Structure 1
Amino acid sequence: MSGIAQEQNVHFEDMRHKGMRRLSGGTFSMGSERFYPEEAPVRQVRVDPFWIDEAPVTNRDFQRFVEATGYVTFAEIAPDPKDYPGLLPELAQPGSLVFRRTRGPVAMDDFSQWWSFELGADWRHPWGPESSIEGLEDHPVVQIAWQDAEAYAQWAGKQLPTEAEWEYAARGGLVRAEFAWGDELAPGGQMLANYWQGNFPYANQMLDGWERTSPVRTYPANGHGLFDMIGNVWEWTVDWWSLPSPMKKASKGACCIPANPRGGKERESYDPCSPDVRIARKVLKGGSHLCAPNYCQRYRPAARHPQPVDSPTSHIGFRCIVRETVEKG
């Protein structure tokens, strides 16, 4: 490689790592056994060193990507009725899911009470066609499907994190703490993340000051210097949804600690409760501004959620990583 090429490559690496933190990797306790069954068991996992964005990708970041490439997101493309048998003709238009606060208590097992498909909702119009991102340039970009996050990561010369990498980063060096800052949700009444305070989905006290998303870096960084790992927006990972497996025993009885585990397989990630819907699901991490003590206590590093890859919403975003090692296989 010539001197000029080397200099250009170094410049690219410097720019690629701008706004990122390097994590040295290591072994940590992944999962939880106190909240939801899909988080168990607690198990030892090892990850190699990697760089990770200090904060979620913002509207400003994503707009730069779109302007450079002309990329059109999933929510901006009308769904093909062939892919969605039974789709009502009036819904065969671009749009996405938007959260709407209810007027009062509703059945908590019916998410259609607070989620609605809004024609014209996309990353530029996160809450519907009459909304915009003006003044929200430093908020996390939302209405992002998995393929949109993957496209941005490739353009930026980065990758999406595995679930293990994401959880290692979110824990900030704390060992088995329930939250990214310790074992108390609001120590001394201090709001350390953007989540729902009050009775979801109708009464948000907004003790954190925000009804929806908040600007990135609004809350203190965790022990790794990372912002918004908890709350604000859910974040896509590269892993297919699956349930964790117990640690395997080595021949002499010791546990084998998996290194850089990858979750699941696409063909096994479908929702067993909806056998007719063949949409694969990826793992989301971190919870969002809609997570509440009375519903979805997933504002924790161990929390996880299966999200269909074709389902962007007004509370899903992402951040990227750069691995220092080349994965095998």
Structure 2
Amino acid sequence: MTADDPVCCSASRSGKSGERRESDEADAVEAAQSTAPAASDDPRTKAMVRLDGGSFEMGTDEDVGFPEDGEGPAREVTVDPFYIDTFAVTNAQFLAFVKETGYTTEAERFGWSFVFADFVASEDEEHVLRAAPETEWWVAVEGANWLFPEGPGSNVIEDDRLTHPVTHVSWTDAVAYADWAGKRLPTEAEWEYAARGGLAGKRFPWGDQLKPEGEHRCNIWQGTFPERNTGADGFLGTAPVNEYASNDFGLYNTAGNVWEWCADWFSPDFHTTPAYDHDNPTGPLTGDARVMRGGSYLCHRSWCNRYRVAARSKNTPDSSTGNIGFRCVVDAKTE
């Protein structure tokens, strides 16, 4: 592999990295395009931030990403007002959803999910099924899922990780949770508008410097990927959702920690075509993979470098790994 190779952010169940479950169920799910509009006293808006929306510059013209990702060209986009979760959805919140609905995630139905190889405990090595092709640091672990994120020997409740972001959730799982909560997944445009925190043309939610005055502002890989992570930012895996300083909109961890699913189908060039609507864009009508944004604790500048606010990634809707989560939005009433 070379530093120009974009594969490292997450592993996929489909294509080269895994097999799909024979079911049309996941393909039949579509993310809601709107919700019942909410006012500030709506119970759904608890722990959410209201954003006024408006026009902003989406994407970047900087040559710092991968051409295959389609980060540019920068373009003016408009989004309507909306509420967005202050934090990524936590294990505690997902636990409440599962207890009330009895929902079974795709990882549980498949019987396995992808775990970063260094996190597999010795007692769980017998549950390792295989490594993901081309990304050997991802291994398929039998019994790994949102509750047992590194395999049967781990447990988010017993390991005191209820305030950490839920992981091992597919896009389909995220949509199911959002629907239960009366919310929806953000469009890619809404996500970037929120992540920027009102800062125009900056690389990160706080500015252009990764560590302003030496301060760690996000949970990413420290050291040499994938051989050594020093944990200098305080964490090797996920961090609690309220770690580090928020952006100027009051949102936490819109860079690093876990990837966040967006509603849109992924395309590297749809935004350059006449079909692209700059007013509340929702992406192409069809595709093979869904958009992920924000980067994760495995991102490093020498490899994926996708923890910038303009950076993009993708995965199939049925995929789940130990570094993918999500947050939700609600449409806002006009005030």
TM-score, length of structure 2 as denominator length:
0.79
* 8 A Cα contact 1:101 1:202, kept in partner: no
1:133 alignment partner in structure 2: 156
Q: Within 2, Cα distance between the matches of 1:138 and 1:320? A: 16
1:10–1:77 distance in 2 versus 1, CA, 3 Å: closer
1:89-168 equivalences under 5 Å are 94-101=111-118, 111-134=134-157, 135-168=160-193
Q: Within 2, Cα distance between the matches of 1:11 and 1:307? A: 33
Gaps of 5+ in 1: 1-8, 79-93, 103-108, 249-255, 270-279
1:317 alignment partner in structure 2: 325
Aligned residues: 279
Query: Among residues 199, 222, 231, which one is paired with 1:174 in the alignment?
Result: 199
1:73 alignment partner in structure 2: 105
Instruction: Give the CA deviation at 1:25.
Output: 0.2
Instruction: Give the CA deviation at 1:162.
Output: 0.2
Instruction: Give the CA deviation at 1:111.
Output: 3.9
Match of 1:149, as an amino acid? A
Query: Among residues 6, 29, 40, which one is paired with 2:57 in the alignment?
Result: 29
Query: Among residues 234, 237, 250, which one is paired with 1:209 in the alignment?
Result: 234
1:172–1:247 distance in 2 versus 1, CA, 3 Å: farther
The root-mean-square deviation of aligned C-alpha atoms, in Å, is 2.3
Q: Within 1, Cα distance between the matches of 2:81 and 2:200? A: 18
Instruction: Give the CA deviation at 1:51.
Output: 0.1
Q: Within 1, Cα distance between the matches of 2:152 and 2:289? A: 27
* 8 A Cα contact 1:101 1:201, kept in partner: no
2:29 alignment partner in structure 1: none
1:246 alignment partner in structure 2: 272
* 8 A Cα contact 1:43 1:246, kept in partner: no
Instruction: Give the CA deviation at 1:112.
Output: 2.9
Q: Within 1, Cα distance between the matches of 2:89 and 2:284? A: 25
Instruction: Give the CA deviation at 1:265.
Output: 2.7
| SS of 1:113 mapped into structure 2 | strand
Q: Within 1, Cα distance between the matches of 2:81 and 2:38? A: 19
Instruction: Give the CA deviation at 1:142.
Output: 0.1
Instruction: Give the CA deviation at 1:57.
Output: 0.2
Structure number with greater Rg is 1
* 8 A Cα contact 1:43 1:247, kept in partner: no
| SS of 1:117 mapped into structure 2 | strand
- CA offset digits 1:260-293 (Å, max 9, x no partner): 0011232xx2xxxxxxxxxx21000000000012
* 8 A Cα contact 1:48 1:325, kept in partner: no
1:265 alignment partner in structure 2: 285
Query: Among residues 65, 74, 77, which one is paired with 1:45 in the alignment?
Result: 77
* 8 A Cα contact 1:286 1:299, kept in partner: yes
Gaps of 5+ in 2: 1-36, 120-131
2:87 alignment partner in structure 1: 55
Q: Within 1, Cα distance between the matches of 2:314 and 2:277? A: 25
Identity of aligned residues (%): 47
Q: Within 2, Cα distance between the matches of 1:13 and 1:229? A: 25
* 8 A Cα contact 1:143 1:316, kept in partner: yes
TM-score, length of structure 1 as denominator length:
0.80
**Higher normalized contact order (CA 8 Å, seq sep 6+, divided by chain length):** 2
